[in-house]
A and B are shown apart, each in its own frame.
Chain A
């Protein structure tokens, strides 16, 4: 049986060594079940903070959530004095990592704070201290602790604008912030000793990192040259000392398209989702499908929202170039399955995809405009005005639907004509 590290001795929390010069001084929160409103965690989480000792100073990397500050300070005090601390690094400003910072700065007023360039606009709003002194850093910047050095990697949007990683080259250790982290609380701390946390690792990526896949890939371009690493020390969950490269590789895999694509080079994909109560919106969908199919180099797919769970559709949408939603208007609103799918898209990047909306209605027809506004809010382009048809589409209206499909497909392959309008002609 594995012997867990000693986290507490005689009731006093203890620091845990990653090496002679690097200690974990974080806190465990085993009772947490919901993190940040959106994430479930079946066995809590940890707030990982670290202490690095150099010949000419001590650095603290991240702190903990405010109500766990006592554990953090107790652990810190087992391996360093406050007057030895010369450097405080914040890899991420979220309160679960900065809760103990004001008190730490009060106890170690001589310490210099290092934050990312992008953290500057957030730090004062978060900490409510106008006289806060700090040094903003980017990739290539470093700070020395004598025989130990901290090098900074600019890795924004993982998962806030401010996020960065800090690398300790003398020990091949990466303090990665939320990257490679997960909500999994286990007092054995290290990945080769804790329980099975694979689900938590994947779940954390899916909800926290997935919307920022492009930024994950850019961060990995900075991190992969550091391999082989001895330790990856994330801000949540197990410390990755056993084959840490596996987690880097897994992040790269997860940051590729969720589905293998059979689409040819140069071909664009257009997905049409619809739901229909009396078949009118379905007839519109089928005509749009026909119209779009008539355009070369666009692969069109048609899906009835009634026929699937949402998760596979989210994967499809992530890889698509264009998305069209068909919804009837019921009681002045789009229908719930459409909103459910739209609200599930927060975990993927939709920016610059082409969107379109259509639907049949009885007397008011608000749904199309509402969904169009939502698509714009999700940063899709909505180049073709939505198509609303009152009740049963006529043959002429079906032809309008085909034209709508053609225009969207042409937009995707770059064949749609640009339009010039005089402002006086706008409604």
Chain B
């Protein structure tokens, strides 16, 4: 299975994870500062900044796009509870 490496820049930890893993499945276990609310893509609490490897994540859904817009998210922001890794290298940090 394809693997991705996700670096949580706030805590300087890199995790190797299979394709399809959501960031939420890893970030809390390693202690990253990305915080969560509803955990289902509705509240916008878990907005994170993707500093590298934007294209190594799944495309945001229409719903995620809407939540990002409503929360005035920046250009390289995603919801950590929605974004799944596809492979390659990804770097993220809390906003």
Which A residues are closer than 8 A to B by beta carbons? Answer: 118, 121, 161, 352, 372, 376-377, 379-383, 385, 411, 416, 418-423, 426-427
A161 to B16, CA, bound (A): 37
Nearest A residue (CB) for B13: A419
Chain B residue contacts of A427, Cβ below 8 A: 29
Contacts of A422 in B (CB 8 A): 15-16
* CB pairs A–B below 8 angstroms (25 shown): A121-B71, A376-B35, A379-B33, A381-B10, A381-B33, A382-B11, A382-B31, A383-B11, A383-B12, A383-B31, A411-B12, A418-B7, A418-B13, A419-B13, A419-B14, A420-B5, A420-B13, A420-B16, A421-B15, A423-B15, A423-B17, A423-B21, A426-B29, A426-B30, A427-B29
B76 within 8 Å of A by Cβ? no
Q: A372 — nearest CB in chain B belongs to which residue? A: B31
Contacts of A411 in B (CB 8 A): 12
Chain B residues with CB under 8 Å of chain A are 5, 7, 10-18, 21, 25-26, 29-31, 33-35, 69-72, 94
With A and B bound together, what is the CA distance between A377 and B25 in angstroms? 18
Identify the interface centre among B16, B18, B33, B69: most chain A CB within 10 Å of its CB: B33
Known contacts A416-B12, A426-B30; 9 additional CB pairs below 8 A are A118-B72, A121-B72, A161-B72, A376-B35, A382-B33, A383-B11, A420-B5, A420-B15, A423-B25
A121–B10 touching, CB < 8 Å: no
A203 to chain B, nearest CB (A): 29
Contact between B94 and A379, CB atoms less than 8 A apart: yes
| B33→A419 contact, CB < 8 A | no
When the two chains form their complex, are residues B26 and A423 in contact, meaning their CB atoms are under 8 A apart?
yes
Contact status A426-B15, CB under 8 Å: yes
Residues of chain A within 8 A of B69, CB atoms compared: 121
Report the nearest A residue to B12, measured CB to CB: A418
Contact call B33/A421, Cβ cutoff below 8 A:
no
The interface residues of chain B lying within 8 Å CB-to-CB of A161 are: 72
CB contact under 8 A between A421 and B14, given known A376-B35, A381-B33, A427-B29: yes
Interfacial chain B residues near A383, Cβ < 8 Å: 10-13, 31
Report chain A residues within 8 Å CB of B30. Answer: 421, 426
Point out which of A352, A380, A383, A385 has the most chain B C-beta atoms below 10 A from its C-beta: A383
| Nearest B-chain residue to A421, judged by Cβ | B15
